[in-house]
Structure 1
Amino acid sequence: MSCIRFNTPAQRTQMRDAGPALAAEDVAVLHLAPPVTESKIARLRLLARHESGGIRQSVASNRHAPADLLAELAADPDAAVRGEVARNEAAPVALVEALAQDCDARVRCWAVLNPGLPAAAVPALLDDPDDQVRRLAGWRREHAAV
């Protein structure tokens, strides 16, 4: 995903017009994305079916992707796509819990790091067959008490 942002003229106008109404300390708000519209959700749905795994990953990482779309992407054959769903903090808790049991260790690693994964699900990952998942689960358990 690119870090370059391309705003439409309408978006630039909206941000420019909103500026004077903000207090000086709130100027950073100008750099937020425009509101999520039905059109954006429709584009996410279309891109979720793209043949490129990288594009599906981008959709899976989007915090505005609807829960049903994230559930569809959580069943993607590409583990990298499932991993993006597992690390998406906006993903429903039940979905993150399910991905914590994924057949791919990378997906389980992302799930254990997702703050949405309930603490009660972490102990099972302490006995995971994968060393990295066990280490991350141990780290999560240690830092949850802090």
Structure 2
Amino acid sequence: MGIRRSLDCMSCIRFNTPAQRAQMRAMAPSMVTAEEAAAQHPAPEVTDSKIARLRLLARNANPKIRESAASNHNTPVDVFEALAQDSDDGVRACVARNEYAPCDVLRMLAHDPSDTVRGFLAINFFVPDDAMSTLAADESATVQRLVRWKHELASV
């Protein structure tokens, strides 16, 4: 019985012939670069209504919704400034890791009371050098390690 059952299971396995494998390779989609993909699928235009929606999201009572505004590339400077002072660590962390956040806002976050926020700031490649110097001397060993890790990555 055991042998019969194994043979039945073997019949479930599909083996493709060389011709079938060649046809699958021929029909496979070609790989495109990130730039080509971006050109094929351009981002929609930033409109006044989109900015108005971001302003509304930034004032929402739910911190997860405020995080979406803090993570957006099109968030206005004044909204970034307000979100960088949000009472929720998660919202401030989203600002800290956003590469489009203004340098002055990122500098401000170098003094944030949350190790998590400063840790996310430490790994953002768009943080100004003076803020990175502040983080390199941070009281948190974790933040200091993240600064060293990012420096090592940048050196490679």
TM-score range, shorter chain: 0.7 to 0.9
Give the fraction of aligned pairs with identical amino acids, expressed as a percent.
Answer: 46
Structure ID, larger Rg: 2
- In 2, the alpha carbon distance for the partners of 1:112 and 1:28 equals 28
After the TM superposition, which residues 63-74 of structure 1 pair with which residues of structure 2 at under 5 Å, given as runs?
63-74=73-84
Residue of structure 2 equivalent to 1:138: 148
> Residue type of the partner of 2:118?
R
Helix, strand or coil at the partner of 1:40 = helix
Q: CA deviation at 1:143?
A: 3.1
The residue aligned with 1:122 is: 132
Give yes or no for contact 1:89–1:114 (8 Å, CA) kept in 2.
yes
Matches within 5 A, 1:40-79: 40-79=50-89
Count of residues in correspondence between the two structures: 122
**TM score, norm. by length of structure 1:** 0.76
Q: What stretches of structure 1 of length at least 5 have no aligned partner?
A: 1-24
Kindly provide the CA deviation profile for residues 55-84 of structure 1, in whole angstroms up to 9, marking residues without a partner as x.
000000000001111101111000100110
Q: 2:112 aligns with which of 102, 124, 128?
A: 102
The equivalent of 1:91 in structure 2 is 101
Counterpart residue type for residue 138 of structure 1: R
Deviates most, 64-73 or 132-141: 132-141
